[in-house]
Chain A
């Protein structure tokens, strides 16, 4: 049977889309609602995943406690990043944040004893001992599968990821629709006006960054659980740009547009790997990976040129100016 038709494959695409939904919601609140061009969002994903894995493998505390701490560490990192940079202009902010995410990646790459280095988490417990951080998750997943009477592990993961994604989506939706979200949108458009009306712009930007950090970390946790192994390469700046593509594809400042963008992105991204009809069949598998990224580039350019408000955004409320 062709891979394109296998349920397993589409369950995988669905899981990845769910993780990217959570990750993209972080970009949506920071960029879509607050206008913060945080190009280092992937750092929160890395910090979430690594903190959980390191604590689980190297200390006695359980994986679930480690996951909660990981989210806390990610928030802390967000505040640490925001304090010196949030007063900067948008372009300076974008560049310093991407620098931040690269610092995180370099540290993960080079501090072998802490992170396992370039070989990734398999090396966490030192050479020779294949480290595992997700035993608790596997047990939980098996129980959830039995309890929900689901057919396979993949489908269980799909259900779990999307449950989390939808809960977070609803919470974020409530948050941005509240007066709190109104302040974020006012900052996005004109911080001086917001400040002149008594809004503490800096504090709200920091909060927005922190909320994004939580979502990034949760995405990182699911990423770690889905793949049971990860390495610094999984957190390249490209991942942040994927999230921006998703948010812009769906529509900025639209919470419900994020999952749609993520699903479309998942189909384009994962789908092209297995499409075995022309023009995809003209390329071998390595080349298809490049082709896929070139196509993402074209999509971004085309969106900016022809539909900057995305699929569901309103032109009048367009963020991209």
Chain B
């Protein structure tokens, strides 16, 4: 039972982690708390379902289409919305509230276009992988593998590539990075492309894992995603990865019966929030975040 819950937690956690890295990068580099990020996920999930169900593409192709489309959405919004807002000198709170407006807009346009009825991908719902005592559905198995690969790739991208170094430099000190010859606008574009692509992937994975989804799905995942970002320490992409996995595992394990009877599964999100508040009590800057100085 423990291993089963752990596996479930890793599935849920990798989806959260993938999305949280994007939120964290956007925050680090652009100082935007993007409340619409959950709806980027939903967008990806719906593009995927359009490709997969309506146009009959294989799931792999549909996933790639969703990733590309969501990356493009993020890019379009950078040019149409975020960049003009920055040029107008919009500050932290303005951008935060703008993102809330954007979240409302995206979600309800999706409702208008796609409707409210639950959607599912055309995958075999009865396929099961058995590893030892752990049983995972086909979608879950795929999610855990794809999630792990994506997490490793993002980690490598940040640690080893020139783009990753530039992103981290920009996150640390914008002025210094720009003096050191980093093309800020270009790195910002890549940041959105990466965050969007990851959101698209996370959206499709969530759609697969949940079996069905609606235009509300991304928003429902937004709080766990933010909790992961905060848990890891805002401004730490690695922290977001760790926070996401930790949160997913903690949410699932909390229902373990041998753990003082376990928590009623409906309270899984509450476990995430309580964990978040608990960690912040001890470490106000998050697990991997830097301490704030005067």
Using CB atoms and an 8 Å cutoff, list the residues of chain A in contact with chain B.
37, 84-85, 87-92, 94-96, 98-100, 102-103, 106-107, 109-110, 192, 238, 241, 244, 248, 283, 286-287, 290-291, 293-294, 296-301, 304-305, 308, 319-321
Contacts of B100 in A (CB 8 A): 241, 244, 297, 300
Which one of B41-49, B184-192, B263-271 is at the interface? B263-271
Of B96, B101, B111, B272, the contact of A290 (CB 8 Å cutoff): B111
Does B284 sit within 8 A of A, measured CB to CB? yes
B223 touches A98 (CB 8 A): yes
For A87, list chain B residues within 8 Å (CB).
284
Which A-chain residue is minimally distant from B116 (CB atoms)? Answer: A286
What residue of chain A has the Cβ atom nearest to residue B103's Cβ? A297
- Whether B280 lies near A88 (C-beta < 8 A) is yes
In the complex, residue of chain B having the shortest beta-carbon distance to the beta carbon of A287: B112
Would you give the shortest CB distance from A142 to chain B, in whole angstroms?
A: 39
In the assembled complex, B294 has its CB within 8 A of some CB on chain A: yes
CB distance from B49 to the nearest CB of A (A): 18
Q: Is the CB of A301 within 8 A of B81?
A: yes
* CB <8 Å contact, A298 and B96: no
**Minimal Cβ-Cβ distance residue in A for B93:** A320
Q: Is A244 within 8 A of B97, CB to CB?
A: yes
- The interface stretch among B59-67, B82-90, B133-141 is B82-90
Q: B112 touches which one: A96, A290, A297, A308 (CB < 8 A)?
A: A290
A32 to chain B, nearest CB (A): 11
Q: Which of B145-153, B197-205, B226-234 contacts A (4 or more CB under 8 A)?
A: B226-234
Residues of A within 8 A of B277 (CB): 84-85, 96, 99-100
- Which residues of chain B have a CB within 8 Å of any CB of chain A? 27, 33, 81, 84-85, 88, 90-98, 100-109, 111-112, 116, 223, 226-227, 230, 234, 264, 266-267, 269-270, 272-274, 276-277, 280-281, 284, 286, 292, 294
Given known A-B contacts A85-B280, A241-B100, A291-B108, A110 and B81 have beta carbons under 8 A apart: no
**A106 to chain B: which residues have CB within 8 Å?**
266-267, 269-270
Residues in B whose Cβ lies below 8 Å from that of A298 = 101, 105
With A94-B96, A297-B108, A301-B102 as given contacts, are A100 and B33 in contact (CB-CB < 8 Å)?
no
How far does the Cβ of A152 sit from chain B's closest Cβ, in whole Å?
A: 34
Closest to B226 in A: A95
Are A297 and B104 in touch, CB under 8 angstroms?
yes
Interface of A, helix, strand, loop or mixed by DSSP: helix
CB pair A304–B90 under 8 Å, yes or no, is yes
CA distance A141 to B98 in the complex (A): 41
Set of chain B residues within 8 Å of A248, measured between Cβ atoms: 97
> In whole Å, how far is B42's beta carbon from the nearest beta carbon of chain A?
13
Looking at the assembled complex, report how far the CB atom of B110 sits from the nearest CB atom of chain A, in whole angstroms: 9
Look across to chain A and name the residue whose beta carbon is closest to the beta carbon of B90. Answer: A304
What residues of chain B lie closer than 8 Å to A192, measured between beta carbons? 294
Chain B residue nearest in CB terms to A321:
B91
6 residue pairs A–B, Cβ–Cβ below 8 Å? A91-B33, A102-B269, A106-B267, A304-B85, A304-B95, A320-B90
- Chain A residues closer than 8 Å to B96, beta-carbon distance: 37, 91, 94
List 12 extra interface pairs beyond A298-B105, A305-B98, A321-B92, CB under 8 A: A90-B92, A91-B27, A99-B276, A110-B264, A287-B111, A287-B112, A294-B104, A297-B101, A297-B102, A297-B106, A301-B98, A304-B101
Q: A110-B267, A305-B85, A321-B94 are in contact. Are A294 and B109 (CB under 8 A)?
A: yes
- Give the interface centre of B90, B106, B108, B269 by most chain A CB atoms within 10 Å: B108
Contact (A321, B93) CB under 8 Å given A95-B230, A103-B270? yes
Contact A320 B97 (CB under 8 A): yes
Alpha-carbon distance between A89 and B270 when the two chains are bound, in angstroms: 22
Q: How far is the CA of A320 from the CA of B91 in the complex (A)?
A: 7
Contacts of B91 in A (CB 8 A): 320-321
Interface contact B103-A94, CB-CB below 8 Å: no
Q: Which residues of A contact B102 (CB under 8 A)?
A: 297, 301
Closest 9 CB pairs of A and B: A300-B101, A297-B104, A297-B105, A321-B91, A99-B273, A301-B101, A294-B108, A290-B111, A290-B108
Evaluate contact between A305 and B84: CB separation under 8 angstroms.
yes
With a CB–CB cut-off of 8 A, which chain B residues contact A84? Answer: 277, 280-281
Distance in angstroms from B291 CB to nearest chain A CB is: 11
Chain A residue contacts of B93, Cβ below 8 A: 37, 90, 319-321
Most buried by A among B95, B96, B103, B266: B96
Contacts of B101 in A (CB 8 A): 296-301, 304
Q: B230's contact among A96, A110, A300, by CB below 8 Å, is which? A: A96
Closest chain B residue to A298 by CB distance?
A: B105
A291–B92 touching, CB < 8 Å: no
**Pair A89/B292 contact, Cβ less than 8 Å:** yes
User: A244–B103 Cα gap in the complex (Å)?
Assistant: 14
Do A304 and B108 touch across chains, with their CB atoms under 8 A apart? no
**Which residues on B sit within 8 Å (CB–CB) of A103?**
270, 273-274
Q: How far is the CB of A126 from chain B (nearest CB, A)?
A: 20
| Contact of A293 with B92 in the complex, beta carbons under 8 Å | no
Q: Which residues of A contact B108 (CB under 8 A)?
A: 290-291, 293-294, 297
